[in-house]
């Protein structure tokens, strides 16, 4: 059974993430693209050295939200469409959620959207320092991508900060300098500017398979700002253990797209197997028994 009928109010949920950062060295966050995926995440436990570990929250990815709707990852989805999906996740779960805010759009739109995101119960929004048509960061310089000037992005940070109503709601700046091969010094300059502008946290992104530049950034940033929350997304440097990331100073590690990437090949294999065999017998070993499906989300107990 996955379902829980008790959940925090949206106003209470907003504060959960910031409270976790205060009380825990490093948080594990993973992408959730549906209520079912969120329920799976929330139910999981693992034990290491007699210490129970679990996921600390959800990541709402614009990439996976777009892909599930058959749309390209170009900041096309309306904010209300994405918040509707998040609302359904919150109906069934208790963990906090961080939202991928892409570029934040036009500053005037951001000022309107931040209160909507906060009112929906989201704990933090991450906004990347790019302008123009949004393209996925892992494409790097294979496509045209342009960073905002530090001055312009600091203005956007200030607009987002003024728009929020709850001090516990976090606006996190995502720095794309390493993605665009501009180097660690540029990334650090921007990180310092954004932090001094009042951002609630910094995310550094990289598309390299080696974590060296991310580790160097973290160490140098930590010397300048020991307490500002630092976020990473180890999609490309996937051989790095969570404990290593925590050890160099990261407060939040986001596994940003792994559940959709796991679901797609499983669905494709099942559909292809039925097509090739003219029946479903051959793929039954891949499937959850129907009785187990029915027991995942039981109705409320009477009385």
Structure tokens at 95: 């963990």
CA–CA distance, 75 with 77 (Å, rounded to integer)? 6
Q: Give catalytic status of residue 73 as yes or no.
A: yes
Q: Residues, the chain, total?
A: 303
Q: With contact defined as beta carbons under 8 Å apart, do 173 and 125 qualify?
A: no
Strands 130-131 and 146-147: antiparallel
Q: Sign of torsion, CA 137 141 143 147?
A: positive
Contacts of 16 (CB under 8 A, 6+ apart): 8, 57, 95, 96, 123
**Which member of 56, 65, 73, 129 is catalytic?**
73
**Diameter of the chain by CA atoms?**
63
Is residue 202 within 8 A of residue 175, CB to CB? The reply is yes
CA-closest candidate to residue 164, choices 233, 89, 104, 213? 104
Q: How far is CA 56 from CA 23, 30, 177, 212, 284, in A?
A: 12, 8, 28, 26, 33
Catalytic site positions: 73
């Amino acid at each position: 059974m996955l379902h829980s009928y008790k959940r925090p109010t949206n106003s209470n949920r907003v504060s959960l993430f910031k409270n976790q950062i205060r009380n825990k060295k490093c948080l594990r966050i993973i992408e959730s693209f549906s209520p079912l995926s969120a329920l799976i995440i929330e139910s999981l436990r693992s034990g290491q050295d007699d210490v129970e570990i679990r996921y600390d929250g959800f990541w709402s990815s614009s990439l996976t939200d777009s892909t599930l709707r058959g749309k390209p990852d170009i900041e096309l989805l309306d904010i209300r469409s994405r918040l509707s999906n998040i609302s359904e996740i919150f109906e069934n779960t208790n963990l906090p959620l961080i939202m991928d805010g892409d570029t934040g759009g036009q500053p005037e739109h951001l000022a309107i959207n931040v209160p909507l995101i906060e009112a929906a119960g989201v704990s933090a929004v991450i906004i990347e320092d790019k302008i123009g048509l949004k393209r996925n960061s892992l494409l790097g310089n294979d496509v045209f991508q342009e960073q905002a000037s530090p001055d312009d992005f600091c203005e956007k940070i200030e607009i987002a900060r003024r728009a929020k109503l709850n001090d516990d709601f976090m606006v996190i700046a995502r720095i794309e300098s390493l993605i665009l091969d501009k180097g660690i010094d540029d990334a650090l300059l921007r990180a310092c500017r954004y932090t001094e502008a009042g951002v609630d946290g910094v995310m550094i992104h990289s598309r390299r398979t080696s974590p060296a530049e991310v580790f160097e950034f973290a160490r140098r940033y930590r010397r300048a700002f020991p307490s500002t929350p630092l976020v990473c997304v180890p999609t490309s440097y996937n051989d790095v253990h969570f404990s290593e990331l925590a050890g160099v100073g990261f407060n939040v590690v986001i596994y940003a797209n792994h559940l959709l990437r796991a679901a797609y090949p499983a669905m494709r294999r099942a559909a292809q197997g039925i097509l090739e065999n003219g029946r479903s017998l051959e793929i039954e070993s891949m499937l959850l028994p129907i009785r187990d499906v029915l027991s995942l989300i039981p109705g409320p107990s009477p009385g």
